[in-house]
Amino acid sequence: MTQATSTKLDKAALSAEILRHLKYSIGKDAAHASRRDWRMSLSFALRDLVVDPWFASTRKSYEAKGKRVYYLSMEFLIGRMIEDFSVNLGMEEIAKQALADLGQDYGLIVVDEPDAALGNGGLGRLAACFMDSLATLEIPAYGYGIRYEHGLFEQHFENGRQVETAEKWLTHRNAWEFERPEVSYHIGFGGHVDVDNGHHTWHPAEQVIASAYDTPIVGWKGQWANTLRLWAAKSITLFDLQKFNEGNYLAATEPEALARTISRVLYPDDTTNTGKELRLKQEYFFTAASIQDLLRRYLSEHSDLSNLAKHVAIQLNDTHPAVAGPELVRLLVDLHGFDMTEAIETARECLGYTNHTLLPEALERWPEGMFAYVLPRHHQIIRDIEAYHVGHVGGPSRIFEHGEVKMGELAFIMAHKVNGVSALHSDLVKQTVFHDLHQTYPNRIINETNGITPRRWLYSCNPPLRDLINETIGTEWPADLAQLSGLVPHISDAGFIEKFDSAKRQNKERLSNWMQARHGVLLNPDAMFDIQIKRIHEYKRQHMNLLETIAYWNDIKDNPNGNWTPRVKIFGGKAAPGYYFAKDIINLINDVAVKINADPATRDLLQIIYPENYNVSMAEMLIPAADLSEQISTAGKEASGTGNMKFALNGAPTIGTLDGANVEIREHVGAENFFLFGLTAAEVVERRHTHGYARQAIEASPRIARVLDQIANGEFSDGDTHRYGGFVHNLYEHDYFMVTCDFDKYYAAQRDVDTAFQDRARWGKMAAMNTAKIGWFSSDRTIEGYARDIWGVRHKNSNFRSDQSAA
């Protein structure tokens, strides 16, 4: 085993390394170096330390000739990397001191790094947590994705409305990646298929090159590093010299520009399936490159492909890489002489598919004509897969319907395991989207409840709490989060709760200082910090939170001498650019904030803050400072949620519905430490059958009726009664997500929160219980589950954990 100590440097050695990089990699001397130069030098010095364990891990994987895991994901929402590297290498303190010796501030350098925002939200962040856990568990694994030139758009507000601008993380060099121009593959699109004696040959009409960029991902204590391999699209003909010589300069660069389009930008849709041809090309582009790459690696160790499934586990993060099934079949049949059945069965043994949503608009379907045009050979193969499936089980077509190719069904049929991401979600997957396929393959759907990496989401983002935990239960918990239960006996100790409280206080002050510096707003750190941060979506119901805020404001004004609990309501999140209702929600939050924050009668009791451009780094600042976690989706709609786990880990109790992983979080932390309200998933389905349920709920609730009147009458829009006319109308007439039906229960639960918060001793215990009992939600536990139930791979803990039975 590579010794962690061999990757470590002392302060003087690290300083020397930083200076060496400043001089020889950046070409600057210390007197003229900018903060970015220092950041790049530190990053290079840290990256160097990962190279040896990285090589050693790769060597060990080759020597073991064991199974490798390939995690295919359109998105890896990583955030900043300096802390990941320095914390996992155990170099954080040394880096601080080394930089201080060089006259630099580590904290300022860390925040100079742009976020790698190669994802929309939960799905992409989950992939990033999984990479951290795979390395920590020493599982030989590759993450495969797209090296987008522009990550998720940047958000700012103009007159309260969201405006998007292009994100530019690659404007300056990315310190962490190694370019691998020699690792490249041709990826074809379009064209036609020739058949000769039963043998098919695809002749694509156009081709681009997929070119690899590798980032080492190091695990906790620096013992193991895996590779995140991201593909960039490049042109085969870089430059058309003929056209240039004719003076046609623009046309000369056209082929390059066209090819690069494929990896140019991350689609900013969350939970909608836009069905654009470029998106299909992106999906095929990175999937095909990844499959070719893993086959090449396999064939460098094995002479034939018959044992592929013993050595290769491919996990599809949602259906975006679902074309992996037909692509693998294509290569096995057209290039390696398999017969169709043998190829389908081999591919299926290799593949696992994770479903992240039940929302119909998010389930990928491609118009069959477009699919056949872009991927003609795959279209044929999917027909063969369909025939194979129908031949085995009878019954109707599953993959093709109404002139569309349904990627969920394709992924299901081509995977040996299909998993949901929380217990409730996995049950609903069985009952709803894959009801029929589940009857046919009753053992295929399993559950792997999501998790989060405790290294980023406690150890590095919350130093005060991390230090308190270290001094209370020792320092082994970041790799074995269940150990947090060792805090439970301390929770009856008032001294411990005081320290827990003071850690929270420090984080709240850090956030307040940041808010003041960045946004010029003063927060009251004695108030309850009540936070809802996530993508803006009707099902997540930020608008219910806002309506409750307005109702609270009304109540305070009606009774100024009441015993009110001061609150700071914090919102953060982006709306998909084309999702108009979500954009109206953002506008309304901002409009209401202007009005309420300016009200001298309530100023000390209620504040609404909505910082622009919520991202991973902002989450790392907000979550440790939260008193209350808002997880209020319509039951049955949030597949799991992972923010919910992060808040609980950082000592913020949840107000929430019985949705996604909330259900399991509540079981773990205890019902008495969770503020539950709202309809259950079954009740939501039931209520939809009641005609006019929204209007009825509003008529039965003077509180919400008043709030909706205020909005409709222009109280928050300078008398403009049109701006939110559609919003109010929607709630009266449709309210598909049942804001109106859950509102009163939500309001009442919030008042229970107020009461609990005022009892400082009680609140302190609730908060600490959340931290102490959330340990099960480590992504290490999740990955152990995938390793055991889906991939059949060993990991660091397989030998001594009795609940593991990895092959």
Binding-site ranges for ligand F58 (CB under 6 A) = 120-123, 126, 269-271, 356-357, 362, 421, 450, 638-642, 660
Distances (CA, A) of 586 to 25, 590, 642, 720, 724: 44, 6, 22, 17, 12
- State which residue has the least CB distance to ligand F58: 122
Which is closer to ligand F58, CB of 323 or CB of 333?
A: 323
Identify the CA nearest to 651 among candidates 620, 624, 630. 624
How far apart CA 376 and CA 373 sit, in angstroms, is: 6
The letter for the amino acid at 698 is I
How far apart CA 400 and CA 238 sit, in angstroms, is: 39
The least distance separating ligand F58 from the CB of residue 356, rounded to whole angstroms, comes to 4
Which is closer to ligand F58, CB of 295 or CB of 582?
A: 582
The least distance separating ligand F58 from the CB of residue 624, rounded to whole angstroms, comes to 20
The least distance separating ligand F58 from the CB of residue 271, rounded to whole angstroms, comes to 5
Structure tokens at 101: 């010796």
> 404: buried, middle or exposed (CB in 10 Å: 19+, 13-18, 0-12)?
middle
The least distance separating ligand F58 from the CB of residue 46, rounded to whole angstroms, comes to 29
Structure tokens at 27: 């070409």
What residues form DSSP beta bridges with 118? 76
Angle at 635 between CA 587 and CA 710, to 5 degrees: 35
Angle formed by the axes of helices 542-558 and 702-712, nearest 10°: 100
Instruction: Taking the CA atoms of 74, 480, 140 and 59 in sequence, report the sign of the dihedral they define.
Output: positive
Rg of the chain over Cα atoms, rounded to whole angstroms, equals 27
Pick the catalytic residue from 68, 444, 534, 583: 534
Exposed e or buried b per residue across 240-249, where buried means at least 16 C-beta atoms within 10 angstroms of its C-beta: beebeeeeee
Pick the catalytic residue from 39, 356, 389, 417: 356
Pick the catalytic residue from 125, 646, 703, 781: 646
The least distance separating ligand F58 from the CB of residue 194, rounded to whole angstroms, comes to 35
Q: How many CB atoms lie within 10 A of CB 64?
A: 11
Which is closer to ligand F58, CB of 91 or CB of 424?
A: 424
Which is closer to ligand F58, CB of 282 or CB of 472?
A: 282
The least distance separating ligand F58 from the CB of residue 724, rounded to whole angstroms, comes to 26
Task: Judge whether 540 counts as a catalytic residue.
Answer: yes
How far apart CA 98 and CA 15 sit, in angstroms, is: 5
What residues form DSSP beta bridges with 143? 71, 228
> 196: buried, middle or exposed (CB in 10 Å: 19+, 13-18, 0-12)?
exposed
Q: How many CB atoms lie within 10 A of CB 802?
A: 5
In 3-state terms, what secondary structure has residue 697? helix
Task: Judge whether 535 counts as a catalytic residue.
Answer: yes
Which is closer to ligand F58, CB of 579 or CB of 743?
A: 579
The least distance separating ligand F58 from the CB of residue 634, rounded to whole angstroms, comes to 12
Pick the catalytic residue from 642, 657, 740, 771: 642
How far apart CA 582 and CA 576 sit, in angstroms, is: 8
Which is closer to ligand F58, CB of 61 or CB of 644?
A: 644
The least distance separating ligand F58 from the CB of residue 166, rounded to whole angstroms, comes to 18
Which is closer to ligand F58, CB of 125 or CB of 794?
A: 125
In 3-state terms, what secondary structure has residue 120? coil
What residues form DSSP beta bridges with 353? 316, 418
Which is closer to ligand F58, CB of 642 or CB of 710?
A: 642
Structure tokens at 33: 């170096």
Helices marked H in 181-264 — which ranges? 241-245, 249-252, 254-260
The least distance separating ligand F58 from the CB of residue 155, rounded to whole angstroms, comes to 16
Pick the catalytic residue from 466, 535, 781, 796: 535
How far apart CA 238 and CA 87 sit, in angstroms, is: 41
Q: How many CB atoms lie within 10 A of CB 90?
A: 15
Task: Judge whether 356 counts as a catalytic residue.
Answer: yes
| Residue whose tokens read 């949901």 | 420
Angle formed by the axes of helices 35-64 and 92-101, nearest 10°: 150
Pick the catalytic residue from 540, 574, 668, 723: 540
The least distance separating ligand F58 from the CB of residue 797, rounded to whole angstroms, comes to 23
Structure tokens at 325: 């099934």
Three-class SS string for 330-343?
HHHHHHCCCCHHHH
| Residue whose tokens read 């364990």 | 53
Which is closer to ligand F58, CB of 277 or CB of 345?
A: 277
Which is closer to ligand F58, CB of 271 or CB of 730?
A: 271
Task: Judge whether 646 counts as a catalytic residue.
Answer: yes
Q: Catalytic residue numbers?
A: 356, 534-535, 540, 642, 646
